[in-house]
Amino acid sequence: MKKYLMLLGVAFCLTAAANVMDKGKWTGFIGDDHCGTKGNNKEHAACAKSCVKGGKIPVFVVADKVYSISNVKLVENFIGDEVTITGTITNNVLEIETIKNKK
């Protein structure tokens, strides 16, 4: 019986580890899902705005990572901008708590 409880505990830990949440603060660019990591610079702002206006989905780009955004309405006024975001990333999806332009 103890072995089964131990196995159950290990399985629970592995399941929890697969859904790890990363809570923190990051600085990156609000780009678009078409260009991805190409949107990790200030020169991409006009392209990101054009792509999003054309129907592409806004994403958060940090270095070589691209994160989906759980509520894209929060970034509508930041397309193409370098921003600092606090929030939680779960399975490459960013849930934003705060967003502000980087100065």
Of 17 and 90, the one with more pLDDT: 90
Of 97, 54, 102, the C-alpha closest to 82 is: 102
Per-residue pLDDT of 25-76, as tens digits, reads 999 999 999 999 988 899 999 999 999 999 999 999 999 999 999 999 999 9
The pLDDT value given to residue 20: 62
Whether the CA torsion 43, 64, 31, 60 is positive or negative: it is negative
Quick check: 42 and 82 in contact, CB under 8 A? yes
Distance of alpha carbon 21 from alpha carbon 40, whole angstroms:
23
3-state helix, strand, coil in the chain (%, to 5): 40, 40, 20
Which of the four pLDDT bands, split at 50, 70 and 90, describes residue 97?
very high
The pLDDT value given to residue 39: 83
Residue 5 predicted with pLDDT over 60: no
Q: Say which residue the tokens 């600092």 belong to.
A: 84
